[in-house]
Structure 1
Amino acid sequence: MEFLKVELLSPCVTFKTPLSLKGIETYPLPPPSTVIGLLYTASGRKWNGERFSLSIQGDYEAIFRDYIRLRKYNKDEKKLEVLPTEIPKLYNFKCVVHIGAERQLIEEFLKALKSPSIYLYLGGGEYPVLVRDVKIVNAWEYSGERELKMNAFVSEAAKDLFYRSNFIQFRVSTFCRKEKGERVCDWLSVYYVQKGESVEGNILVDEEGDIVWLLGSM
Structure 2
Amino acid sequence: MITMKGIRIKLQQDMVNYKKPNSFQLKETYPLPPYSTIIGMVHELCGFKEYNDMRISVVGKYNSKVNDLYTRYEFSNGIKYENGRHQLKAGEYGISRGISTVELLVDVELIIHIIPVDQSLVEKIEKAFLFPIEYPSLGRREDIAIINEVKVVDIIEDKIKKTVRMNEDYSAYIPIEELEKIKFKNREEGVSISGTRYKINKNYELVNLGTLNKPKIIRRWNKIDVIYGGNISALGDEILTMDEDGNVLFAI
TM-score range, shorter chain: 0.7 to 0.9
Change (3 A) 1:146 1:83: farther
Q: For residue 103 of structure 1, what is the aligned residue in structure 2?
A: 119
State the AA in 1 paired with 2:180: D
TM-score, length basis structure 1? 0.86
Residue 187 of structure 2 is aligned to residue 155 of structure 1: no
Q: After superposition, give the CA deviation of every residue in 1:23-58 in whole Å (9 maximum; x if it has no partner).
A: 2111111111111111111112323x4322111111
Partner of 2:23: 20
Aligned residue type for 1:139: I
Secondary structure in structure 2 of the residue aligned to 1:107? helix
For 2:226, which of 167, 174, 191 is the aligned residue?
191
* TM-superposition CA deviations, 1:68-122 (whole Å, max 9, x none): 3422224454432234322111111111111222331111101111111222211
The one-letter code sitting in structure 1 at the alignment partner of 2:233 is: S
Distance 2:97 2:250 in 1: 42
Number of the residue aligned with 1:213: 250
Task: Please tell me whether residue 33 in structure 1 is matched to residue 36 in structure 2.
Answer: yes
| Structure 2 residue matching 1:157: 3-state secondary structure | helix
Equivalent in the alignment of 1:144: 162
Write the distance in 2 (CA, Å) between the matches of 1:176 and 1:113. 24
Question: Which amino acid counterpart does residue 123 of structure 2 have in structure 1?
Answer: E
The answer (yes or no) to whether the contact 2:17–2:143 under 8 Å persists in 1 is: no
RMSD: 2.3
2:204 and 2:222 in contact (8 A); partners too: no
User: What stretches of structure 2 of length at least 5 have no aligned partner?
Assistant: 81-93, 184-191, 208-214
User: Contact (CA 8 Å) 1:44, 1:118: kept in 2 or not?
Assistant: no
Hey, what's the Cα distance between the residues in 2 that align with 1:183 and 1:88? Answer: 28
Map of 1:134 onto structure 2 = 150
Q: Secondary structure at the match of 1:138?
A: strand
Query: What are the equivalent positions in structure 2 for 1:43-82 lying under 5 Å apart?
Result: 43-47=46-50, 49-78=51-80, 79-82=94-97
Cα deviations across residues 103-144 of structure 1 (Å, max 9, x unaligned)?
Answer: 311111011111112222111122311123111112333243
Cα distance change, pair 133–73 in 1 and its aligned pair in 2 (3 A): same
Correspondence 1:200 to 2:239: no
Alpha-carbon offset, residue 183 of structure 1: 5.9
Shift of 1:185: 4.7
1:89 — aligned with what? 104
2-structure distance, mates of 1:75, 1:156: 42
Identity percentage of aligned residues: 21
> Gaps (5+ residues) in structure 1?
none
2:133 is the counterpart of 1:117: yes
Q: Which moved more, 1:7-16 or 1:65-74?
A: 65-74
The alignment partner of 1:194 has SS state of strand
